[in-house]
Structure 1
Amino acid sequence: MGVKPRATGAVRPGGRTARTRAAVLAATQEELEAAGYAGLTLEKVTERSGVHLATPYRRWRTVEGLVVDLLTEMGRNEIPIPDTGSLKDDLGALALEIAALYRQPRARALVEGVVTAALRSPEASTAWAAVIAERNRLASRIVDRAVERGELPPGTDGAAVSGAVGAPIYYRLLVARGPEDDEVAERAAAAAYAAALSGVFTPADPPGPP
């Protein structure tokens, strides 16, 4: 989640528009990490990014607009997916990666900031949901490979398995407000693995051959 935004200017990729957008989104992320959503202002983003004062007001208009664009960009970033050759080990590695990320204070502050924005803005909520859906889609490759190896039955919902790994970790982070330790991650992965093996994430009538 803490990946820096990539420059993807809508008008001239690699040109001034792209550089300006990248600078503003990077500044938005840094402000969220430093002061949270409550401390995010267009003025602070302008000062940190070094762009002309009018630019954020003209293009993004509000702090919600900045957060939505940042989330959209974060959703485009690829994430490393474990590939150990074992479903159990892949899920364990994925959980430990998530926990390790959110042990970093800046990454923790960032996710807290975007979740706060999502609670206050319908547009930010939609963008955050899209980021989570894309992360789960990418992580579902773990389950797809497990199905190919015969570890899981066809039709197992990979995104649901991925979500089951991440949910306890996000609960610990955002609700219980506890530390992200490896024990929580390992339990989350073990529970998701056991549930997947028992068929919890497989439809009653899995798809058959065409």
Structure 2
Amino acid sequence: MTAPQPHGSDRPAEPARPHGSTRPGGRTARTRAAVLAAAWEELDRRDFASLTIDLIAQRSGVHAATIRRRWRTVEGVISDILSQHGETIPVPDTGSLRQDLHALARSIADFYTPPRNQRLVEAVVTAAVREPGAAEVLHNVFGDRIRRVAVMVERAAERGEVAADTDGEEVIAALGAPFYYRLLMTRRPVDAELAHRSAEAAYLAAVEGVFRTGRRAP
């Protein structure tokens, strides 16, 4: 995975945000880019609890009142960063489900090694607790990622590595869950050993049929 890049965007439309959307381009787009970039840079210096609208305003050059009017809270800004994250998880295609899962786990571990990226996931979860709109963004972004990466399991089923009715999204969720438990609950470092164990556990469970749905494949 790569870190989200809040600077500028040439896409024809912005991602959905918890506090409404605006037309791309012009002054509004420049303001959004400046605010998101400033918040992202502040997360490189401090934890989420220390982040304030005034700090974001000072770094971005955008008036605090403008930030509050558009995003309302720091949580709103953080949610917008996440919504801009886009398709950042690579989808391995090695020809082997086991190797694909290990490659994916290593990418997740690499992403969460820098402290700023750890702070981002903490901030996003905190925002989701406080802001209904942020919770919706969190649900949509992570749901889309899981669905996109689950194609690895579909390929494996076509190759006969796992049963045809294996739930690919549940396989990917099982691989990812230990990372977020480590980051958010035990608050210990994410390392190569965690990546290896997570991938291997998800693979062995999939091969043994733990994630079978009992439904016929279409």
Residues 138-181 of structure 1: CA distance to partner in whole angstroms, max 9, x if unpaired?
21121121122222222321111111111112111221122211
State the partner residue of 1:149: 159
Q: Which residue of 2 aligns with 1:24?
A: 35
Amino acid at match of 1:2: A
The amino acid of 1:203's aligned partner reads: T
Task: Indicate yes or no: 2:121 matched with 1:111.
Answer: yes
Residue 207 of structure 1 pairs with residue 216 of structure 2: yes
Question: Normalised by the size of structure 2, how large is the TM-score?
Answer: 0.85
Q: Which runs of 4+ in 1 moved over 6 A?
A: none
Could you tell me which runs of 5 or more consecutive residues in structure 1 were left unpaired when the two chains were aligned.
Answer: none
1:15 to 23, 26, 33: 26
CA contact (8 A) 2:76 2:127 kept: no
Q: Is the Cα contact below 8 Å between 1:31 and 1:39 reproduced in 2?
A: no
CA contact (8 A) 1:173 1:179 kept: yes
**Is the CA contact 1:87–1:193 (under 8 Å) kept in the aligned structure 2?**
yes
Q: Is the 8 A contact 2:75 2:124 kept in 1?
A: no
- 1:34 and 1:113, CA in 2 relative to 1: closer, same or farther beyond 3 A? farther
Q: Equivalent pairs: percent with the same residue?
A: 52
Which range moved further: 41-50 or 87-96?
Answer: 41-50
TM-score with structure 1 length normalisation? 0.88
The 5-angstrom pairing of residues 12-161 of structure 1 reads 12-74=23-85, 76-161=86-171
The answer on whether the counterparts of 2:78 and 2:123 sit within 8 Å (CA) in structure 1 is: no
Q: How many residues align?
A: 207
C-alpha distance in structure 2 between counterparts of 1:42 and 1:123, whole Å: 18
Q: Deviations over 1:75-126 (max 9, x none)?
A: x334211111110000001111111211111111221222222233333233
What is the root-mean-square deviation in Å for CA atoms of aligned residues?
Answer: 2.0
